[in-house]
Structure 1
C-alpha cells in the first residue's frame, strides 16, 4: 500500500509592504512522501510571496505540465509560472513561453542552479526572477513545521520576517539574474 500525502494547513497573515499586498488567508498544502520538508516550506513561501488572485498549488509531482505554484486568470490561462527547488532549463523555457511571468524560489545553492542553466536554451531568461534565502533559514523554519500552522509573514525593503508557530526568523530575499 502506497503512503499518501500529508496535509498541512496554514493560517497566514501576509504583509508584503514591497508589493502592497496585505492579506489574511488559509491554505492547505499536501506534502507528497517524496517531497522534503524543506521543499514544502519553500513552496509555501513562494505561494505567499507571489500571492495574488488566482494563485494555487500545481498538480504536484505527477503533473509535468504545471509548476509547483501557478496563477490563473479568470479564463483559466496560466499568467504566472512559479517553480520551486531546482527545475531544469527545459521546464523554465516551457513555463516562460507559456506564462506572462516566471519565478523560481530555491532552498538550494543558487550559484549551482545558475551554472546548471548556463548555456541552455531558456526563453527570455533575463525576465525570470530567481529568489533564495539565507542558507540556514529554511532548515530552521522546517523545525517549527506542524500539521496545523499559524504563519505571519512580513516583507519590507527586501527583508522577510517570518513567524511560524511562535518561532521567529528573518532572512533577506536574495535575487539572482539568470544567464
Structure 2
C-alpha cells in the first residue's frame, strides 16, 4: 500500500519591503512521505520570496515535483499555461536546470544543504550560459531553524528587508540571509 501525503496548511502574512510585495496568501501543502520538514519549509520560503507583485496573471503555486518528475517544486503558470517562473528546491542537475530554462521565462533554485557549494561548483560552468537562472543558498543552520517552525497548521509572518528574511510563527522567529550564488542583479 502506497503511503499518502500529509497535509499542512500555512497562512502567510507577506511583507517584502525590498520588492514592495504585500499579500496574505494561504497555501495547502501536500508533504510527500519522503520529504523532510526542512525541505517543505524551504518550499514555503521559496513561495514567499517568489510571490509576484502583480497577481493578475496568476500566482506562484506548489507543484508536484516529488510525484511528477517533469514538474518543479513550485511554478507560476499564466492563464495561457505559459510557465512564467519555475522554482526548484534542493540540488537539481544541470540538465534539469537547462531544460527548465528552455520552458520558463525565469528559473530559481533554492538550495539549503551543507553540500551546496560543492554541488554548485560542479554545475556552474554548465549553467552559466543562461541568463534566466538564479541560484540561492540558504545556510544550513538557518534552514534547520526554519524547519523547527513546521506545524500542521501554521500562521507565518514573512518579512523581507535589505536582503534579510524573518519568518515568525507564534513567538518563534528565524532570521534567514539567503546568499545569491548566481543570477541577475
TM-score (norm 1): 0.92
- Which residue in 2 is equivalent to 1:18? 18
Indicate the RMSD between aligned Cα atoms, in angstroms.
1.6
Aligned to 1:173, which of 149, 153, 178? Answer: 178
Q: C-alpha separation between the residues in 2 aligned to 1:19 and 1:9? A: 25
What is the CA–CA distance in structure 1 between the aligned matches of 2:125 and 2:94, rounded to whole Å?
A: 10
Give distance in 1, aligned partners of 2:146 and 2:153: 14
Moved more, 17-26 or 169-178: 169-178
In the TM superposition, 1:27-176 aligns within 5 A as 27-52=27-52, 53=55, 54=58, 55-109=60-114, 110-120=116-126, 122=127, 124-176=129-181
1:96-148 Cα distance to aligned partner (Å, 9 max, x none): 1111111101111331221221443x374344111122321111121221100
- Change in 2 beyond 3 A, CA 1:172/1:123: closer
Measured against aligned partners, the alpha-carbon deviations of 1:66-85 in whole angstroms (never above 9, x if no partner) come to 11000111111111111101
Runs of 4+ in 1 over 2 A off after TM superposition: 122-127
**Structure 1 unaligned residues grouped into runs of 5+:** none
Q: 1:116/1:56 Cα in 2 relative to 1: closer, same or farther (>3 Å)?
A: same
Instruction: Work out the CA distance in 2 between the residues paired with 1:116 and 1:165.
Output: 40
Count how many residue pairs are aligned between Structure 1 and Structure 2: 177
Q: Is the 8 A contact 1:13 1:153 kept in 2?
A: yes
Distance of 1:133 and 1:36 partners within structure 2: 16
| Alpha-carbon distance in 2 for matches of 1:175, 1:20 | 20
CA contact (8 A) 2:5 2:33 kept: yes
Q: TM-score, normalised by structure 2?
A: 0.89
Q: Distance in 1 between matches of 2:171 and 2:65?
A: 29
- Structure 2: state its 5+ residue gaps: none
